Structure 1
């Protein structure tokens, strides 16, 4: 079957090790379901995998991808939840399982014609949600949903700053925050990205690192090193940073003096549970909210999508169709 995969990592030149070609089809396994993939979306996690971050050489070759929507063996339209518990008998929040993995870390991923997943990891796709839209939900949109509605503890009318205006998580945060009644501010590196964020529903957009007209109640942080200091300085006393990633690096200054003196909260957030994904799908179904898709490409042209993400030329999600 056709797949996008990696056989050996390259920390400095990830695109050089991306392969798009034939891989073995998954073999049936008790308690698991084979999904015929119709669409799968790209995440920064996939670039990290090419670099070997969280994916050691001994697990390769590995099909990339965490997100997918498609059909199960009975022809039902389904969405794939990316989090796979690793502790036998684990119950409760699967993101807290110390042995949990995402698809494409231990088990083969979704950038393929078929993917094998635990039966509990498939849930029904609403008919009015396209396969491409549904494929955007399990990672970026679920991450944003958990950050805003599970971790942040916000009330409608409060002000939220989103660092980085154009990525998959950022565009999801803007759209979800607008529906929830938050005042959404964003930062972006270019006028084009800031204008796109405003068109998506952001209330104001600023240059990266700009002095804001006022302090905010919460910052949604996925950028890391490049924006961390600005995030801390932008908060009201008692405010909260919710962080779910660091695409520019993991070693920012902690700004601990500001954290303790202004009694800030720093909360980590990772992905989301199957139940939260169900809630997100229902929210989209009842409100008409849909993911912002930057571009749809055939899986055979996966390299073009990876290049687009690596160069930062995104305005929403990159989706591969099968």
Structure 2
């Protein structure tokens, strides 16, 4: 089969769309012929984490397709079923943190940027009929990350004020849509006017310029919940927007992973700081039900033929996308 394989060199230089042997199907697994796949910032991370001396790796975490073959002991799913891939491996029930052994499709195991993928049967979930193949293919990792951060960790409620810096990413656009559907009042930031306008069209109450004074622009309003997915570049500015006793959930560090925190300000403010990452299979199914019930669809920037992977990665690396970037495969 054809696949986007990383090997032999760091970064983009090690990527090639080439033939590779299909994985063998084991008991409890299914083989899915993929129609679409979605990119995440994690894919950029994998290009640096997967070393040149490591075995060839098919990257990619998001995808959707049609079940081609089922292994022994598989029940409740059959060849021909339309499915979406849950990229989280080994995290079944909702818990305070991922269990030991939790992994994500695309590293260390082969991922979704391929014509086919073999996954545990429980990770091939029925594709919501409300989603197109392109929408289903780009959904999983970002939407699940947003769902857990907002609902499980952030405990979002109707009427809350929610602050989301850096609205351009796929996760951030899901955060905006999910928070609005939950009845929250949502505030976002971006350095790009186009992204701010799009956020307003998606229901944001106010869209701030990254470079302006956020405290002044908010005119004294304080947030009940801040979801920080940028990192050190915005962390303390985001924290300044939080009301006393409010909660900040963080799961991203693309703009730096070390911050300097004034502890006196923090404990006098009675702030809550929570970490989050991905989510369980239980939360994944709850998330799919939530988007179906609320008619939520991914914001898609561009879908590239997988053979044009270089252009797709450059777009992701430049962070100039609004929403998700995906691949068409078949």
> 1:39: Cα distance to partner?
0.9
Tell me, in whole angstroms, the C-alpha distance in 1 between the residues paired with 2:328 and 2:253: 28
Q: 1:100 aligns with which of 85, 99, 102?
A: 102
Secondary structure of the corresponding residue to residue 72 of structure 1 = strand
Does 1:118 pair with 2:113? no
Range moving further from structure 2, 96-105 or 280-289: 280-289
Tell me, in whole angstroms, the C-alpha distance in 2 between the residues paired with 1:19 and 1:181: 45
1:290-309 alignment runs, 5 A limit: 290-309=297-316
Q: TM-score, normalised by structure 1?
A: 0.92
Q: 2:12 aligns with which of 15, 25, 41?
A: 15
Tell me, in whole angstroms, the C-alpha distance in 2 between the residues paired with 1:307 and 1:124: 32
Aligned residues: 313
Assess if the C-alpha contact under 8 Å between 2:156 and 2:182 holds in 1.
no
Does 1:37 pair with 2:34? yes
Assess if the C-alpha contact under 8 Å between 2:94 and 2:282 holds in 1.
no
> 1:67: Cα distance to partner?
0.9
Secondary structure of the corresponding residue to residue 107 of structure 2 = coil
5+ residue gaps in structure 2? 69-78
Partner of 1:258: 265
> 1:237: Cα distance to partner?
0.5
> 1:128: Cα distance to partner?
2.7
> 1:316: Cα distance to partner?
0.4
> 1:23: Cα distance to partner?
2.1
**Could you list the per-position Cα deviations for residues 297-322 of structure 1 after superposition, in whole angstroms to 9, with x for gaps in the alignment?**
11111221111110111100001111
**Could you list the per-position Cα deviations for residues 91-118 of structure 1 after superposition, in whole angstroms to 9, with x for gaps in the alignment?**
6347611221101112100111111111
Distance 1:260 1:56, change over 3 A: farther
Tell me, in whole angstroms, the C-alpha distance in 1 between the residues paired with 2:56 and 2:263: 41
Assess if the C-alpha contact under 8 Å between 2:92 and 2:280 holds in 1.
no
> 1:75: Cα distance to partner?
0.7
Q: TM-score, normalised by structure 2?
A: 0.90
Partner of 1:211: 214
Partner of 2:279: 272
Tell me, in whole angstroms, the C-alpha distance in 2 between the residues paired with 1:255 and 1:200: 35
**Could you list the per-position Cα deviations for residues 237-265 of structure 1 after superposition, in whole angstroms to 9, with x for gaps in the alignment?**
11111111111121122333322120111
Q: 2:89 aligns with which of 47, 65, 84?
A: 84
Partner of 1:47: 44
5+ residue gaps in structure 1? none
Assess if the C-alpha contact under 8 Å between 2:177 and 2:202 holds in 1.
yes
> 1:196: Cα distance to partner?
1.8
Secondary structure of the corresponding residue to residue 187 of structure 2 = strand
